[in-house]
């Protein structure tokens, strides 16, 4: 079983035909579950709706969307609506038996709403603000996903979670993918993005242990730092290998799982 996270930038460039052809071939021999991102498109749509987005930075340096009630509605519309359905439609058009769902469906992802958030301002001073509608995933129910996979479908998951009071929550797509991979007992998780992998001092790192990955994470810039964090989380949950790889090359998934591209993170 392989969990494949496809980044928003790769999706926005239009799912490239070689990626889809690769997914189609792989799906014949491997069980595949796809998780997608799309944060930039959420931001664009929100702006068009007259709701400019705010971003906050946690004390550990992770940047995330500040998700109030209106924002979580727009987030859900774009993620589980447009992006999920367009991705599924495109995969179907190329012969991939895709089936779209979100983390809400069948209680795939349950999360605890963050009641309060600690944010750091530019000078690093900490402030406490209302948590809004973001959550930390604490329960994963993969029954429905497994049912789909058993029937030969390729599930395509939008990163939304269900809170304790059945409210919709924004969850980070990389960490959603990591949690799903962990709960499925997946062998590998592949993060496809728009860069060649993890760059350290502008050079591509080909291999990292989970410990090394944790050590260098503070030196990694926004976006990639979440993938490094999600990779180490997946490994802690028993996934044998996390690969952060470019999605804009020929046969990107096959290249990544054969270690011909990207950064491979292992226990």
Judged by the rule CB under 6 A, the positions of this chain that interact with ligand ADP are: 7-10, 37, 193-195, 198-199, 220-224
The helix-helix angle for 173-184 and 224-236 (nearest 10°) equals 20
**258: DSSP letter:** T
Name 251's Cβ contacts closer than 8 Å, sequence gap at least 6: 18, 21, 22
195 touches which of ligand ADP, Mg ion, none (CB within 5 to 8 A by kind)?
ligand ADP
Rounded Cα gap, residues 86 and 20, in angstroms: 13
Please, what is the minimum distance in Å from the beta carbon of residue 208 to ligand ADP?
12
| CA distances (Å), origin 93, targets 19, 88, 147 | 13, 9, 23
Please, what is the minimum distance in Å from the beta carbon of residue 165 to ligand ADP?
29
* Residue 174 lies near Mg ion (rule: CB under 5 A): no
Name the token pair of 155.
Answer: 């599930």
Please, what is the minimum distance in Å from the beta carbon of residue 87 to Mg ion?
15
- Cα dihedral angle (44, 49, 54, 55), rounded to 10 degrees? -30
Instruction: Order the strands of the 135-140 sheet from edge to edge.
Output: 135-140, 109-113, 160-162, 168-170
Site string for Mg ion, 3-32 (x = CB under 5 A): -----xx-----------------------
**95: DSSP letter:** T
Burial (CB count within 10 angstroms: exposed 0-12, middle 13-18, buried 19+), residue 64: middle
Complex with ligand ADP: residue 10 or 149, whichever CB lies closer: 10
Complex with ligand ADP: residue 47 or 130, whichever CB lies closer: 47
Q: Find, among 52, 58, 43, the residue nearest to 8 by Cα.
A: 43
252 touches which of Mg ion, ligand ADP, none (CB within 5 to 8 A by kind)?
none
Complex with Mg ion: residue 10 or 148, whichever CB lies closer: 10
Complex with Mg ion: residue 217 or 227, whichever CB lies closer: 227
Complex with Mg ion: residue 12 or 167, whichever CB lies closer: 12
Closest residue to Mg ion using C-beta atoms = 9
Please, what is the minimum distance in Å from the beta carbon of residue 160 to ligand ADP?
16
Please, what is the minimum distance in Å from the beta carbon of residue 223 to ligand ADP?
2
Rounded Cα gap, residues 93 and 89, in angstroms: 6
Complex with ligand ADP: residue 95 or 222, whichever CB lies closer: 222
Complex with ligand ADP: residue 10 or 108, whichever CB lies closer: 10
Q: Which residues bind Mg ion (CB under 5 A)?
A: 8-9
């Amino acid at each position: 079983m392989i969990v494949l996270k496809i980044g928003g930038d790769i999706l926005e460039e239009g799912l490239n035909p070689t990626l889809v052809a690769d997914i189609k071939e792989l799906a014949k021999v491997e069980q595949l579950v796809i998780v997608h991102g799309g944060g930039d498109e959420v931001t664009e749509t929100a702006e068009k709706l007259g709701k400019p987005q705010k971003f906050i930075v946690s004390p550990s340096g992770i940047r995330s969307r500040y998700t109030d009630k209106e924002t979580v509605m727009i987030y859900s519309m774009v993620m589980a609506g447009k992006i999920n359905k367009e991705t599924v439609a495109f995969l179907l058009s190329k012969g991939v038996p895709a089936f779209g769902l979100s983390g809400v469906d069948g209680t795939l992802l349950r999360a605890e709403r963050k009641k309060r958030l600690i944010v750091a301002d530019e000078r690093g001073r900490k402030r406490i603000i209302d948590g809004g509608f973001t959550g930390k995933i604490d329960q994963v129910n993969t029954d429905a996903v497994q049912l789909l996979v058993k029937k030969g479908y390729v599930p395509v998951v939008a990163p939304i979670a269900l809170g304790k009071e059945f409210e919709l929550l924004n969850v980070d797509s990389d960490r959603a993918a990591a949690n799903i991979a962990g709960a499925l007992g997946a062998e590998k998780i592949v993060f496809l993005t728009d860069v060649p992998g993890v760059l350290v001092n502008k050079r591509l790192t080909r291999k990292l242990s989970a410990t090394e990955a944790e050590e260098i994470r503070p030196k990694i810039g926004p976006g990639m730092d979440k993938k490094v964090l999600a990779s180490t989380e997946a490994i802690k949950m028993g996934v044998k290998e996390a690969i952060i790889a470019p999605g804009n090359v020929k046969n990107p998934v096959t290249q990544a799982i054969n270690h011909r591209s990207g950064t491979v993170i292992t226990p």
